[in-house]
C-alpha cells in the first residue's frame, strides 16, 4: 500500500485539477505521511523544515483548495462558528455546505450507539454524526 513517489503525488494533484507547485506537493505529502490530523500551523512547521521560505498563508490557501477539490478531509470545524443544540440524545445533523443551516436527521435517530470495537483504550463520551451536503433551498440546480 506504500511506495508512492513524487511522480505519483504529482499525478494525484493533476487528477484533481490542480496546478502543481512544490509547495502543494510538500503540503500534501506532509499530510499524507502522518497519522496525526494536523492543523494548518502544524503542517506549516513541518513543511518549513524543507522549504523555509514557505508562508503560513499559503498553507491555509492550499489546504482550503485541497478540501474544495476533495483531495483531503477537514475533520473539524464543519461550520464557521460554533452551533448549539438543546436536544441531547445522540442524533445526526445535516449541515448545508452552502448556507450553513443545520437540521436534525429524521429516522434512524435514537440512541443507536456506534459500536466501537477496541480502540486502543480510547474512552468514548459523546458521539456525533454530521452529514454534509445541500439543503433543499441550496441544492445545485436552484439558480
Residues that bind a second copy (CB under 8 A): 28, 31-32, 35-41, 43, 63, 66-67, 70-79, 81-88, 92-97, 101-108, 114-136, 139
100-105's contacts with Cβ under 8 Å and 24+ in sequence apart are: 101/135, 103/135, 105/129, 105/131
**Closest distance to a second copy from the beta carbon of 66 (Å):** 8
d(CA 47, CA 41): 10
d(CA 66, CA 74): 10
Q: Which is nearer to DNA, 83 or 139 (CB)?
A: 83
Cell output for 24: 502543494
Q: Which is nearer to a second copy, 2 or 106 (CB)?
A: 106
Contact partner, 71, from a second copy, DNA, none, Cβ < 5-8 Å per class:
a second copy
Give yes or no for residue 65 binding DNA (CB under 7 A).
Answer: yes
Amino acid at each position: 500500500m506504500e511506495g508512492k513517489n513524487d511522480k505519483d503525488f504529482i499525478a494525484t494533484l493533476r487528477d484533481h485539477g490542480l496546478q502543481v507547485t512544490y509547495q502543494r506537493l510538500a503540503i500534501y505529502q506532509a499530510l499524507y505521511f502522518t497519522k496525526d490530523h494536523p492543523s494548518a500551523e502544524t503542517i506549516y512547521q513541518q513543511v518549513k523544515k524543507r522549504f523555509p521560505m514557505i508562508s503560513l498563508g499559503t498553507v491555509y490557501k492550499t489546504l482550503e483548495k485541497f478540501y474544495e477539490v476533495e483531495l483531503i478531509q477537514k475533520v473539524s470545524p464543519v461550520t464557521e462558528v460554533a452551533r448549539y443544540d438543546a436536544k441531547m440524545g445522540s442524533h445526526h445533523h445535516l449541515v448545508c455546505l452552502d448556507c450553513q443551516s443545520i437540521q436534525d436527521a429524521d429516522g434512524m435517530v435514537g440512541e443507536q450507539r456506534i459500536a466501537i470495537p477496541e480502540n486502543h483504550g480510547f474512552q468514548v463520551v459523546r458521539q456525533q454524526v454530521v452529514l454534509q451536503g445541500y439543503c433543499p433551498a441550496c441544492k445545485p440546480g436552484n439558480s
